[in-house]
Amino acid sequence: MSLDFKPGEFSDFFRDETFRGDFTYRNSPHLIRRFPFPFDRDDYMYAVNMEPHVPGRKGTAFEHILDVDEHYVAEMIDRAQVLAEDPLRCQSLPHMTLAGWDVLEFIMETKARDYPHWFTLERDGHRWRWINRPLGIDHSFTFLDESTLPYGPFEYITRQTQGDWTLQDERDGTLWMDAGIATSQADWSVDFDVGMNFHEWHAPVPIAHDLGVFDRALKFLLKLQHGAPVRRFNWTMTVNPLLDTAPETYPRWGPMRTTLTPENMGELMHLRVELQSLYRLPRSNAIAFDIRCYLARFDELVTVPKWARRLHRVVRDIHPDLAAYKGFLRNRDMMTEWLSRHDDGAPTSPGWWPED
């Protein structure tokens, strides 16, 4: 497949790796500890669990508003492959173009500010020049003029940004997912869900509706202010480092779940964490939702003793409906058994940081 960008610069930092075929994706040993481990205690149940999305500890995935890590270039190549195979993975209803420009501006400004050695944004009125050195892009265009971009503004910038993104229009007291790009999703379909409101697109999630989680989350999000983004975690399990676990391609990746054995567990089973962040956009008043996917295999995670103990206890005790929804019920006993060998029963400290 031909790419419309030219990666190559900074190849000492960005890993050359794959999320399909030979699955060469790895976390470098010194970077395992920056993994956003999602469990701050030894058990798990749904919660709204929103907190302000502000820059956090240095050397962690929270250091910058948009985290660009060693997997950036490889993820963008994978996204281009998915979109070439299935353009329906990126959709934007006609009234969402302005929100697309909003998110383009937000991403370009944020990356140019936090990673000036990789990204540059020059502005002269509405004449903009965007330089993305890791992807070899140097492009001048007119802000708010779609004809000067090779894609719509939303697709243009999200082809250069890790994480799945959706744009929510606000009307009738709810949020409508009227644009989205998903090539690293945990089994939900942009093509099916685009145009749905907040409660509709969450319909298949078990238990949480009855807990009132979505009512409270929606109430919270409708009050979201420009300049005060929020974040939360979600997580699931994936056999092999697959970014693309779409329902569309489930017949292709679902069978991989049956290849798991106690011997290959540490290599094949990955904790898949979504670091979700939400931003109110200034012109359109839409809300941008960034679902950033991080993968770490069990072998990598158990090098951190606290995480090894905790992951075992969470998997062992989770509600079966949640294990089924997250797609690992069939392998749960084998996972618990493997993880138990890395849990000495010692108490764990509160919070998700590795060393505390």
Partner 1 sequence: MQEMTLTPVTPTIRSRPVYAPLEPRAGRLHLIVADGEGAEAVAEMIARAPDAAAMLGAAHVIYCPGPNGTDMADRLAALGAAQFFRAPTIPALLPRLQRVLADAHMGTQFYLAGTEGLIGQAEREIMATGFPVGAIQKEHRGSTVRRVQCVHCKGITENVATDPFRCSHCGLNLFVRDHYSRRIAAFQGVNIDAEDPGKAPPPVVRFG
Nearest to 296 by CA among 68, 63, 31: 31
Nearest to 182 by CA among 280, 289, 65, 99: 289
Q: List the interface residues with partner 1, window 255-284 (CB under 8 A).
A: 255, 257-258
162/168 with CB nearer partner 1: 168
Q: DSSP H helical segments within 64-170, as ranges?
A: 72-85, 97-114, 153-158
Integer angstrom CA distances of residue 193 from 56, 120, 199, 292: 33, 34, 11, 19
User: Exposure of 354 by Cβ count < 10 A (0-12 exposed, 13-18 middle, 19+ buried)?
Assistant: middle
Determine phi and psi for 27, rounding to 5 degrees.
-95, 130
Site string for partner 1, 32-71 (x = CB under 8 A): ----------------------------------------
Q: List the interface residues with partner 1, window 315-334 (CB under 8 A).
A: 330
Q: List the interface residues with partner 1, window 114-173 (CB under 8 A).
A: 172
251/345 with CB nearer partner 1: 251
Binding flag, residue 251, partner 1 (CB under 8 A):
yes
* Length of the chain, in residues: 356
Strand partners, 297: 270
Single out the catalytic residue among 33, 123, 133, 232. Answer: 232
Active site residue 26: no
204/320 with CB nearer partner 1: 204
105/178 with CB nearer partner 1: 178
Identified binder of partner 1 from the candidate list 46, 110, 151, 254, rule CB under 8 A:
254
Binding flag, residue 106, partner 1 (CB under 8 A):
no
Q: Least distance (Å) from partner 1 to the CB of residue 194?
A: 7
Binding flag, residue 194, partner 1 (CB under 8 A):
yes
Size of the site for partner 1 (CB under 8 A): 26
Q: Least distance (Å) from partner 1 to the CB of residue 247?
A: 5
Which amino acid is located at 30 in the chain? H
Q: Which residue has the tokens 């799945």?
A: 164
SS3 208: coil
132/331 with CB nearer partner 1: 331
Site string for partner 1, 200-239 (x = CB under 8 A): xxxxx----x------------------------------
33/202 with CB nearer partner 1: 202
Which amino acid is located at 321 in the chain? D
The CA distance from 290 to 42, in Å, is 27
How far from the centroid of its chain's Cα atoms is residue 257's Cα?
21
Strand partners, 287: 168, 280
Which amino acid is located at 297 in the chain? R
Q: Which residues are catalytic?
A: 232
* Interacting residues with partner 1 (CB under 8 A): 88, 172, 189, 191-196, 199-204, 209, 247-251, 254-255, 257-258, 330
